[in-house]
Chains A and B, each alone.
Chain A
């Protein structure tokens, strides 16, 4: 609940942030120290309704070309106990929502996917020139001015979150809206998620409520056996999810 008091306290901070939305050019919000943050994301499966807002918002915010996805939503239908053979679909990445679907007699749920901003990312490891990088605040980014377009990183990503931008001819992927989070805002996908299924997490901030959630609830990452150090944490994730 936002009380009037809290709002008054937030106003100066908002003014600051607003100024940077307007100005556009300065590098960071004042006082943003890269070493004081360690970014991750919480994806709550129990809250995702597959509306596709996140996919559309990301595409708008980051000029993602049609047919390619920095984030997408998958729908899983697991019949009975058959964990190894789920029925999965993702029509246009979930960008326009999902058709109603037919019952298969089991679990049905949506899974938003994105770059996991892995601590030990295989993509950064294989980049031959240093065009994909780890920022000091834990975000994996692509330097599109340096990328050769060799696509090795796209092959190396176990999660399928990378693609080659057809016009820029460089590798591209979710940037965790680096241009927003360094200014005190949240990512476009989190901003537009109506249910709070997607929430940005600052893993270096002890008073971040999402960080607190990760400390107190059972969460999972995708493909843990590959030891990528993924920082996209899933709550209420079923074992059938790949």
Chain B
């Protein structure tokens, strides 16, 4: 029997599947990667500069994949344009469509274009065939890369990044808001939800850029800039502390208030969600990285060990944040709104909303990133020197 206790008959089957876990996970990575990029641009944290372009490209890769889990989940994806044509302004989901579009067009694409414009123009002149056509299209017909024009780019880019920071918060905070405003569901309904989502997004985004950077350097047989990764890890730690504090606040508040939903949520935490929440999200995904990176701040740890520690912590973090999304989305649907019963989530392997599709959607951004780094090399100097 999949149902324990009593559930309203229509509640037994879950409505939002693993794809709706993938979606906030992916948009969270976007927001987090962008915040890391902005650290250098706005806050002049020079040490993380090597990750700047990579962070932007990573954000774009994940941003392009973000709509896919939604399209696969919809009953009528062919009608999804309706969200842009007749958006219901009281619906967080509708307004999110515009936030996404704004972020894609006015922040990410614009910032990447301004950052890479010089290379785009140069490549449009130096390459041949379809590549030449691609770069020429990207120049929008302008080949002006004089010092003055590049200075204009830099200044506009600075403004874009500045606007981009609240936009990134809006992008992922909105996802939190989509859940946070569902008063029918006490696991979701909380003003803390958007804030928790933002900070966990930042944590996952910083971790993914850290991992991608270290992986890229390994693939290219180049030395990892330790000052860079040490600083990135520090920012990861600071963000983690805030994230952990917020999540603990939510938990302690719930235990203290113990309203009608508490017994249900408590039961879930001890049973169906024990592994994903207590073990994966809290213990391995948050406490271990905080302790390890914290240790590195206090005691001297040799470079090689630090690199290994960052790699492991990065992976644990990303898995932990995925678990967090799982616990919110799936966890929130496992208990009855009557608070008298529980159901189980049946995750298929091969179906439109199954494991394989979810895995494919998580791998796809890296494939896109692999293409993007070929078209828009993040480590420009070396590429230009070695020719195309």
Chain A residues with CB under 8 Å of chain B are: 68-69, 72, 74, 86-90, 92-93, 113, 122, 125-131, 146-152, 154-164, 168-170, 226, 242
Contact of B91 among A72, A74, A86, A127 (CB under 8 A): A127
Residues of chain B contacted by A160 (CB below 8 angstroms): 7-11, 336-338
Contact of A149 among B74, B83, B91 (CB under 8 A): B74
B182 surroundings in chain A (CB, below 8 A): 122, 126, 155-156
Q: Is B86 an interface residue (CB 8 A)?
A: yes
- A9 vs chain B, min Cβ distance (A): 42
A200 to chain B, nearest CB (A): 22
User: Is B16's CB within 8 Å of the partner chain A?
Assistant: yes
Q: Is the CB of A170 within 8 A of B9?
A: no
The answer on a CB contact under 8 Å between B11 and A129 is no
Known: A126-B182, A155-B16. A170 touches B76 (CB 8 A): yes
Stretch at the interface among B92-100, B137-145, B214-222, B311-319: B92-100
Cβ–Cβ < 8 Å partners of A92 in chain B: 9
Residues of B within 8 A of A226 (CB): 183-184
| Choice from A69, A113, A126, A158 contacting B93 with Cβ under 8 Å | A126
Query: Looking at the complex, which one of B73, B86, B185 makes contact with A129 (CB distance below 8 Å)?
Result: B86
Residue from B7, B11, B80, B184 in contact with A122 in the complex, judged by beta carbons closer than 8 Å: B184
Given contacts A147-B76, A149-B74, 18 further A-B contacts (CB under 8 A): A88-B338, A90-B9, A93-B9, A113-B8, A122-B182, A122-B184, A126-B181, A129-B83, A129-B86, A129-B87, A146-B79, A148-B80, A149-B76, A158-B337, A159-B8, A160-B11, A160-B336, A160-B337
Q: How many residues of B contact A (CB 8 A)?
A: 40
Which one, A89, A130, A155, contacts B6 given CB within 8 A? Answer: A89
Known: A148-B79, A155-B185. A129 touches B88 (CB 8 A): yes
The contact of B97 among A128, A152, A163, A164, by CB within 8 Å, is A128
Q: Would you call A155 and B183 a contact (CB within 8 A)?
A: no
Complexed CA–CA distance, A154 and B13 (Å): 11
- Residue in contact with A146 in the complex, picked from B82, B93, B340, CB distance below 8 Å: B82
Report if A148-B184 is in contact (Cβ < 8 Å); known contacts: A90-B6, A128-B91, A242-B338.
no
Whether A162 lies near B86 (C-beta < 8 A) is no
A210 to B185, CA, bound (A): 33
- B90 adjacent to chain A (CB < 8 Å): yes
- Expressed in whole angstroms, the Cα–Cα distance for A162 and B90 within the complex equals 20
Residues of chain A within 8 A of B13, CB atoms compared:
163
A128–B83 CB distance below 8 A: yes
| Contact status B91-A152, CB under 8 Å | yes
Contacts of B7 in A (CB 8 A): 160
The verdict on B339 contacting chain A, using a C-beta distance below 8 Å, is yes
User: Which residue on B lies nearest to A158, using beta carbons?
Assistant: B184
Q: Which residue of B lies closest to A73 (CB)?
A: B9
Q: Which of A86, A93, A149 has the most CB of B within 10 A?
A: A149
The 28 listed contacts between A and B (C-beta, < 8 Å) are: A69-B10, A86-B340, A87-B6, A88-B6, A88-B340, A90-B9, A92-B9, A93-B9, A113-B8, A122-B183, A126-B181, A127-B91, A128-B82, A130-B86, A131-B82, A147-B75, A147-B79, A148-B75, A148-B82, A149-B75, A150-B70, A155-B333, A156-B184, A157-B184, A159-B337, A163-B10, A169-B76, A226-B184
B15 within 8 A of A: yes
- Nearest B residue to A85 via CB reads B340
Chain B residue nearest to A76 (CB atoms) is: B6
Q: Which residues of A contact B184 (CB under 8 A)?
A: 122, 155-158, 226
Smallest CB-CB separation from A162: which chain B residue? B10
List 8 tightest A-B contacts by C-beta distance, closest first: A149-B75, A160-B8, A169-B75, A128-B94, A158-B184, A242-B338, A88-B6, A129-B82
Give the distance in Å from the alpha carbon of A151 to the alpha carbon of B88 in the complex.
15
| Complex CA–CA separation, A128 to B7 (angstroms) | 27
Shortest beta-carbon distance from B241 to chain A in Å: 32
Chain A residues with CB below 8 A from B75, complex form: 147-151, 164, 168-170
Residue of chain A at shortest CB distance from B8: A160
In Å, the complex CA distance between A127 and B10 comes to 19
- The smallest C-beta distance from A100 to any residue of chain B, in angstroms, reads 18
Interface readout for B178-189 with A: 1 if CB under 8 Å, 0 if not?
Answer: 100111110000
Question: In angstroms, how far is the closest chain B Cβ from the Cβ of A128?
Answer: 4
Instruction: Please tell me if the beta carbons of A126 and B91 are within 8 angstroms of each other in the complex.
Output: yes
